[in-house]
């Protein structure tokens, strides 16, 4: 399902949009000197996509915490939690699909790098069942992925750079889409910047940064001078999610504002010199604390993790009862059997829409589930009632057993598959369907597609793994044919060519089932 994020207008006056699904697959790099409107651009992207995808914002200056009031982001105060606690919080963020802002404002540079590494590590190492699509926005990325050693320790730089590299290089398969912003391309590690396929380049003055920006956009060096002339909030866009050619874009307005904002001139107070001396050199009561006051990390961690487990920010304390206030609305009635049946029918219709996409067999389960939820929203049905494990089982059965609803033999096959590892269930059901229909044995490309791959070699390794564990028995026939028996059911497929091409509309199992159990 294509979702266009409105970022503003082009110089021609047409809407400037970003394809959100393409952005999740290809990542984004934003570059601009201080005052170019870089943070404004990030805020516009976050606000416009908040309703469509989960978000995590790495915020070194505490500028994005205002998103919490308008869009419901949970603010994680990094200075109140230990590194292991931040890693656990990040795992819960992915599990419960909560959008968060990691506020690093109360930490020095080295501690910011360590906290960011722990948090990104928790997002990256989440369980496979929770690999939902997620935008990870990192402001001032040159702090966390520096191109050269600085004043921080080598250990802090190493762990931070490793976490950023994992995000940009390996995060896509885990549903993590990095959006990184930097003031200086020359200070950003090249292996991190090179993984982005989309670029938004703003006002830049230093020659080395202009040259790198021109190289990334495929422009000639003599054209790099144009970056000095860009106005605040104007960027040059390029990438598969935006435009195939460099496109000038003016970023639109935002709904929230940062806590600091741009400095404004204002007159000095008219204070006599003697009074000014008294104000400076005379202590007042009480004196402000020299350092930020930090709450105990253990209680803060427990409080925030409980909020994440609830799936939303903690509710405010109950207000005092007002006898003159109108009565509270009655609770929503429970779902009737007829309503439940109608909801199930809508689920089936939405699932058929998801499976109608030719690329569906090769997409990750988390992406398919996100697509399912978005389509459910369009149909006016609560998709969240169908949890991810139930969606996985329904998806597997729908692909392998289309048209088999109510067949006792097929119910027996699905019961036998439920006792196996989740990774091999789709292939088992594919073979069971062929045996039940007395059809030829599925070819290696068909088996590969059932597990979300285009590699026949992966299919052969998976069939070998299943045979070693006694789930199937392979018999070879004449003319390079084979049949596969299922001992648990007492069924066997007809002879078929293992090298035959998979039909365009053939059965296919859940996408990207992952590594084989036991490392097969």
Q: What tens digit of pLDDT does each residue of 121-157 get?
A: 999 988 888 999 999 999 989 889 888 877 788 888 8
Q: What tens digit of pLDDT does each residue of 44-90 get?
A: 999 999 999 999 999 998 889 989 888 989 999 998 888 889 999 99
Judging by DSSP bridges, how do beta strands 243-251 and 4-10 pair with one another?
antiparallel
Does the pLDDT at position 518 exceed 50? no
Is residue 180 domain-resident? yes
Please say whether the beta carbons of 498 and 480 come within 8 A.
Answer: yes
pLDDT-based confidence at residue 294 (cuts at 50, 70, 90): very low
pLDDT-based confidence at residue 517 (cuts at 50, 70, 90): very low
Rounded Cα distance between 123 and 130, Å, is: 10
Same domain, 249 and 350: no
Same domain, 241 and 369: no
Residues ≥6 apart with Cβ < 8 Å to 92: 98, 305, 308, 309
464: left (phi over 0), alpha (psi -120 to 50) or beta: alpha
Nearest to 401 by CA among 437, 429, 369, 440: 429
User: Looking at per-residue confidence, does 159 or 219 come out higher?
Assistant: 159
Provide the pLDDT for residue 506: 45
Is residue 489 domain-resident? yes
- DSSP structure class, residue 425: H
Provide the pLDDT for residue 268: 77
Provide the pLDDT for residue 325: 56
Rounded percentage of the chain residues whose pLDDT exceeds 90: 22
User: Looking at per-residue confidence, does 315 or 219 come out higher?
Assistant: 219
Dihedral sign (CA 476, 477, 479, 482):
negative
Mean pLDDT, rounded, of the chain: 80
Tokens representing 251 are 């970023």
Locus of tokens 């028996």: 485
Does the pLDDT at position 296 exceed 50? no
Distance of CA 277 to the CA centre of its chain: 55
Same domain, 382 and 494: yes
Same domain, 33 and 144: yes
Same domain, 48 and 114: yes
Residues ≥6 apart with Cβ < 8 Å to 314: 303, 306, 307
Is residue 213 domain-resident? yes
Compute CA distances 81 → 136, 138, 161, 410, whole Å: 20, 19, 21, 51
Is residue 462 domain-resident? yes
Rounded percentage of the chain residues whose pLDDT exceeds 70: 80
Residue 165 — φ and ψ, nearest 5°?
Answer: -65, -40
Rounded Cα distance between 125 and 115, Å, is: 15
Is residue 428 domain-resident? yes
Same domain, 150 and 27: yes
Same domain, 161 and 250: yes
Is residue 250 domain-resident? yes
Rounded Cα distance between 501 and 139, Å, is: 47
CATH code (residue 219): 3.40.50.300
Provide the pLDDT for residue 362: 66
In three-state secondary structure terms, 126 is coil
pLDDT-based confidence at residue 293 (cuts at 50, 70, 90): very low
Q: What tens digit of pLDDT does each residue of 390-415 get?
A: 787 777 777 665 555 567 888 888 88
Does the pLDDT at position 288 exceed 70? no
Same domain, 92 and 200: yes
Tokens representing 218 are 């495929």
Same domain, 374 and 304: no
Residues ≥6 apart with Cβ < 8 Å to 411: none
Residue 378 belongs to what H/E stretch?
helix 365-379
The domain total for the chain is 2
Range of the domain at 231: 4-256+300-308
Q: What tens digit of pLDDT does each residue of 238-262 get?
A: 889 988 888 889 999 998 887 665 5
Does the pLDDT at position 323 exceed 60? no
* DSSP3 helix / strand / coil % (the chain, rounded to 5): 45, 15, 40
In three-state secondary structure terms, 17 is strand
Rounded Cα distance between 71 and 64, Å, is: 11
Provide the pLDDT for residue 114: 92
Same domain, 304 and 367: no
Does the pLDDT at position 36 exceed 50? yes
Nearest to 210 by CA among 366, 33, 38: 33
DSSP secondary structure string for all residues of 434-471: HHHTTPBPPPHHHHHHHTT-S-HHHHHHHHHHHHHTTS
Residues ≥6 apart with Cβ < 8 Å to 181: 29, 30, 31, 32, 38, 39, 41, 42, 137, 138, 139, 140, 141
Locus of tokens 């750079």: 161
Q: What tens digit of pLDDT does each residue of 194-215 get?
A: 888 898 888 887 777 777 777 7
Rounded Cα distance between 207 and 185, Å, is: 11
Is residue 333 domain-resident? no
Same domain, 247 and 392: no
Is residue 295 domain-resident? no
Q: What tens digit of pLDDT does each residue of 451-509 get?
A: 777 778 888 888 988 998 899 999 988 888 999 999 999 999 999 999 888 665 444 44
Please say whether the beta carbons of 180 and 28 come within 8 A.
Answer: yes
């Amino acid at each position: 399902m294509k979702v266009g994020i409105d970022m503003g207008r082009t110089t021609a006056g047409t809407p400037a949009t970003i394809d959100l699904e393409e952005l999740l697959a290809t990542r984004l790099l934003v570059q601009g000197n201080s005052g170019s409107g870089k943070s404004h651009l990030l805020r516009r992207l976050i606000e416009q996509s908040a309703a469509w995808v989960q978000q995590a914002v790495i915020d070194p200056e505490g500028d994005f915490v205002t998103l919490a009031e308008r869009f419901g982001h949970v603010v994680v105060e990094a200075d109140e939690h230990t590194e292991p606690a931040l890693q656990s919080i990040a795992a819960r963020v992915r599990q419960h699909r909560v959008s968060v802002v990691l506020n690093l404002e109360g930490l020095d540079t080295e501690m910011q790098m360590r906290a960011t590494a722990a948090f990104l590590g928790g997002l990256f190492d989440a369980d496979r069942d929770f690999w939902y699509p997620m935008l990870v926005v990192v402001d001032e990325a040159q702090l966390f992925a520096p191109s050269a050693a600085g004043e921080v320790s080598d250990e802090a730089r190493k762990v931070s750079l490793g976490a950023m590299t994992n995000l940009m290089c390996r995060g896509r398969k885990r549903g993590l889409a990095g959006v990184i912003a930097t003031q200086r391309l020359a200070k950003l590690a090249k292996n991190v910047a090179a993984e982005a396929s989309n670029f938004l380049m703003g006002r830049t003055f230093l020659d080395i940064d202009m040259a790198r920006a021109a190289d990334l956009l495929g422009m000639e060096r003599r054209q790099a001078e144009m970056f000095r002339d860009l106005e605040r909030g104007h960027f040059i866009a390029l990438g598969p999610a935006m435009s195939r050619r460099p496109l000038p874009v003016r970023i639109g307005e935002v709904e929230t504002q940062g806590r600091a904002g741009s400095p404004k001139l204002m007159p000095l107070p008219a204070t006599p010199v003697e009074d000014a001396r008294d104000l400076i050199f005379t202590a007042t009561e009480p004196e402000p604390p020299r350092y930020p006051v930090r709450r105990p990390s253990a209680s803060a961690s427990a409080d925030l993790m409980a909020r994440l487990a609830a799936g939303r920010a903690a509710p405010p304390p109950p207000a005092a009862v007002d006898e003159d206030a109108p009565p509270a609305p009655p609770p929503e009635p429970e779902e009737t059997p007829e309503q439940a049946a109608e909801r199930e029918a809508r689920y089936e219709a939405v699932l058929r829409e998801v499976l109608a996409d030719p690329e569906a067999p090769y997409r990750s389960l988390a992406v398919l589930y996100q697509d399912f939820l978005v389509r459910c929203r369009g149909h006016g049905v609560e998709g969240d009632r169908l949890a991810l494990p139930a969606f996985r089982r329904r998806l597997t059965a729908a692909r392998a057993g289309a048209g088999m609803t109510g067949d006792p033999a097929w119910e027996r096959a699905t019961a036998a598959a439920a006792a196996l590892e989740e990774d091999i269930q789709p292939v088992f059901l594919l073979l069971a369907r062929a045996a039940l229909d007395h059809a030829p044995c599925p070819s290696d490309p068909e088996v590969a597609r059932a597990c979300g791959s285009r590699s026949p070699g992966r299919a052969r390794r998976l069939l070998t793994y299943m045979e070693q564990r006694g789930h199937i028995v392979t018999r070879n026939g004449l003319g390079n044919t084979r049949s596969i028996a299922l001992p648990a059911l007492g069924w066997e497929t007809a002879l078929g060519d293992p090298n035959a091409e998979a039909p365009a509309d053939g059965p296919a199992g859940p996408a990207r089932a992952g590594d084989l159990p036991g490392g097969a």
